[in-house]
């Protein structure tokens, strides 16, 4: 079942389901979700949570950051050092127990940066300066 990590590129549960279904048409969506959850909990794959979008599952299990295309929704790996203890920089912990962090970059992927038009998740952003998240 884990051989589904051959999909490599940040597949959503549904993409995994579709891929599995081709070889094992009887497998149900529920089973795929259940097993992805198990694998993610055991650490064999990594769940990448995307706000307002389906969770994606990553065969790379080390910590790293992602960038999301605001037009097509694609997720790409970002080539940047993981900031191990970013949370040490926080000035006033106020009793909060920091366990980790996640950074999500936003923008347009190579394919999408030109075609200005069409549906996009960017519509939810403030319109004046799209750099204001």
Partner DNA sequence: CTGACTGCAAACTCTTTGCAAACCA
Partner DNA sequence: TGGTTTGCAAAGAGTTTGCAGTCAG
64: exposed, middle or buried (Cβ count in 10 Å: 0-12, 13-18, 19+): middle
Binding mask 104-123 for a copy of itself (x = CB under 8 A): xxxxxxx--x---------x
Q: Are strands 56-58 and 46-48 parallel, antiparallel or unpaired?
A: antiparallel
Residues 35-54 contacting a copy of itself, CB under 8 A: 37, 40-43, 46-47, 49-52
Residue 23 φ/ψ, nearest 5 degrees: -90, -35
Task: Closer to DNA by CB, 33 or 65: give it.
Answer: 33
Is residue 19 near a copy of itself by the rule CB under 8 A?
A: no
Q: Which two tokens stand for residue 132?
A: 């204001």
Residues forming contacts to DNA in the complex (CB under 7 A) are 1, 12-14, 24, 26-31, 33-35, 37, 52-55, 124
């Amino acid at each position: 079942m884990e051989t589904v990590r051959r999909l490599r590129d940040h597949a959503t549960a549904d993409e995994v389901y579709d891929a599995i279904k081709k070889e094992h048409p009887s497998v149900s969506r529920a089973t795929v979700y259940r097993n992805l959850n198990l694998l993610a909990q055991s650490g064999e794959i990594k769940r990448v949570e995307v706000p307002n979008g389906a969770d994606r599952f990553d065969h790379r299990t080390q910590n790293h950051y992602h960038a999301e295309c605001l037009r097509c929704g694609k997720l790409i790996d970002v080539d940047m050092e993981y900031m191990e203890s970013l949370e040490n920089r926080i000035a006033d912990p106020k009793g909060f127990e920091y366990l980790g962090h996640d950074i999500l970059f936003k923008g347009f992927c190579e394919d999408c940066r030109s075609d200005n038009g069409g549906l996009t998740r960017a519509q939810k952003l403030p319109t004046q300066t799209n750099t204001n998240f």
